[in-house]
Amino acid sequence: MSQLKELTLQGLWKNNPGLVQLLGLCPLLAVTSTITNALGLGLATLLVLLGSNVAVSLVRNHIANEIRIPVFVLIIASLVTVVQLMMNAYTFGLYESLGIFIPLIVTNCAIIGRAEAFASKNAVLPSALDAIMMGLGFLLVLLILGGMREILGQGTLFDGADLLFGSWAKGLRIELFTVDSHFLLAMLPPGAFIGMGLLIALKNVIDNRIKQQNAIEKGSIARARVTGAAQ
Amino acid sequence: MIRVVSKNALALGAVAIFCVAILSVVNQLTAPRISEQKLANKMAILAEVLPGVEINQALLHDCVMVTDEELLGRSEAQTMYRWRKENELAAYVIAATAPAGYSGNIDLIVAIDPNGTVLGTRVLSHQETPGLGDKIESRRSPWILSFSGKSVTEDNAQQWAVRKDGGNFDQFTGATITPRAVVNAVRNAVLFVQQHPELATLTANCPTE
């Protein structure tokens, strides 16, 4: 149970692939122009990550150390192709709108990173959990960034959700406000970059608060030293 | 040493074969569904440019590959469908490319009746700036509908331009290049149809997918 808690904490917060490891920035910045795209890519990445962690964990004792990286790459590339074919077959609209970023999941370092750092050293169940939590952490960052950019950029939420879920989802679209001209910065990649920076800063602020809080509770803050002062 | 290397090579080969096997199975399973989706997508687009027309297999099969870099914007062959109403040619549906977009090619589909009147047009794909140039998409702005019913004659060449250039089509705030490119491409597609009356009688020669 404590392992589950630790893995959850690591994936969603302490070691979040988007905010802390800063892995997979290319798709993260490129597709988060709407929350729908973010959700689609996040789910696809989660699926690939889960598959690759389980597969890597299964073969970890049978693969010689020297060839483990090419094997991981093969596994991940195959899984991404499977996901790509599935999306092409069942969510055609989303497949078109995510475009090149689905095959590019292969190059998302978060995936091979987890394979190498966790799945190759742990049993199947913890590896699957790690994948789910890391995937969720990544998905959450994508969603927050996508939501921010969509609201600022075009004043809507869930625009084009029908591409992902089918036509019933047209009703999910929320029009927050209408603007004649969109706020371009939010929609373009530089806006994603700035938004991402703000999110990382926010996370660091929260972390610092918590640290200070803990320090106060322990009573050690009273003896806090001025930075750079003599030891 | 050689033993270890060859053992590793074999293991790697085995993993590769295994992956390929899985992929070919998935490919086999999804292929019919993917081609169905592509077809449905194509039919949905044809239905948009030919309002009120039932899109059927006959229309999809009555298709000619045409090439005209100057008027259709691509050096490769593009598809053109011929819609016949009671065996009478009623419209050409032609794929055209606007090569002068703000960022790259804009692919269009234009339905034109044999006299050269535009029945409808839609953008298939583009990389224009979101929020500015993407108003050429029908789901973002009704602008693309303004082509319907327009025809090209010798006298009205000037009207086939954005307002800034003295024409009849609105440009977008902050984006003139994109609509200008689309207007030119649609006009060129009409000119192509007008200059090639023989298109009506060519044998259908599209490769079947």
pLDDT digit string (tens) for chain A, length 231 residues: 688 888 888 888 888 888 888 888 888 888 888 888 888 889 989 999 999 999 999 988 888 888 899 999 999 999 999 999 998 888 887 787 777 778 888 888 889 999 999 999 999 999 999 999 999 999 999 999 999 998 888 788 887 777 777 677 777 788 877 776 667 788 788 888 999 999 999 999 999 999 999 888 876 555 555 565 554
What average pLDDT score do residues B196-208 get? Answer: 79
Q: Using the beta-carbon criterion (under 8 Å), do A81 and B132 form an inter-chain contact?
A: no
- The whole-number pLDDT of residue B198 equals 83
**Do residue B42 and residue B64 come from a single domain?**
no
Taking any CB pair shorter than 8 Å as contact, residues of chain B touching chain A are 4, 7-8, 11-12, 15-16, 19, 22-23, 26-27, 30, 33-34, 37-38, 40-41, 129-132, 173-174
**Do residue B161 and residue B133 come from a single domain?**
yes
**Do residue B34 and residue B63 come from a single domain?**
no
Nearest to B37 among A63, A92, A188 (CB): A92
Residues in chain B: 209
Q: Using the beta-carbon criterion (under 8 Å), do A89 and B34 form an inter-chain contact?
A: yes
Distance (Å, whole) CA B110 – CA B113: 10
Burial tier of A49 (Cβ tally within 10 Å: 0-12, 13-18, 19+): buried
Q: Which of B12, B43, B128 to probe the A interface (max A CBs under 10 A)? A: B12
The candidate with the shortest Cα–Cα distance to A145, out of A10, A62, A49, A29, is A29
**Do residue B84 and residue B174 come from a single domain?**
yes
Query: Residue A168: which H helix or E strand, with range?
Result: none
The candidate with the shortest Cα–Cα distance to A87, out of B37, B43, B39, B24, is B37
> Whose structure tokens read 């004659």?
B153
Residues A65 and A139: beta-carbon distance below 8 Å: no
- The whole-number pLDDT of residue A109 equals 85
Residue type for position B204:
A
Position B63 confidence tier, pLDDT thresholds 50, 70, 90: confident
Q: Using the beta-carbon criterion (under 8 Å), do A74 and B15 form an inter-chain contact?
A: yes
**Do residue B174 and residue B195 come from a single domain?**
yes
Secondary structure percentages of chain A, helix, strand, coil, to 5: 75, 0, 20
What average pLDDT score do residues B155-162 get? Answer: 84
More confident residue, A4 or B53: A4
Indicate the Cα dihedral angle B110, B115, B116, B118, nearest 10°: -50
Distance (Å, whole) CA B143 – CA B157: 20
Domain ranges of chain A: 2-218
**Do residue B99 and residue B171 come from a single domain?**
yes
**Do residue B69 and residue B39 come from a single domain?**
no
B48 Cβ neighbours under 8 A, 6+ residues apart: B120, B122, B138
- Where in the sequence is the domain holding B179, given as residue range(s)? 57-201
Residue type for position A189:
P
**Do residue B129 and residue B33 come from a single domain?**
no
Q: Using the beta-carbon criterion (under 8 Å), do B19 and A184 form an inter-chain contact?
A: no
Interior CA angle at B45 toward B90 and A89, to 5°? Answer: 140
Query: What DSSP designation does B20 have?
Result: H
Nearest to A182 among B11, B37, B131 (CB): B131
What pTM value is reported for the model?
0.77
**Do residue B27 and residue B130 come from a single domain?**
no
Residue B209 inside a domain? The answer is no
Residue numbers in A near B37 (CB within 8 A): 88-89, 92
**Do residue B30 and residue B72 come from a single domain?**
no
* Overall number of domains in chain B: 2
Residue type for position B180:
R
- The whole-number pLDDT of residue A231 equals 46
Residue B153 inside a domain? The answer is yes
- The whole-number pLDDT of residue A71 equals 92
Residue B29 inside a domain? The answer is yes
Residue numbers in B near A74 (CB within 8 A): 12, 15-16, 19
Residues B194 and B152: beta-carbon distance below 8 Å: yes
Q: Using the beta-carbon criterion (under 8 Å), do A67 and B173 form an inter-chain contact?
A: no
What average pLDDT score do residues B64-88 get? Answer: 85
Q: Using the beta-carbon criterion (under 8 Å), do A89 and B23 form an inter-chain contact?
A: no
Q: Using the beta-carbon criterion (under 8 Å), do B131 and A64 form an inter-chain contact?
A: no
Which tokens is A115 given? 């394979």
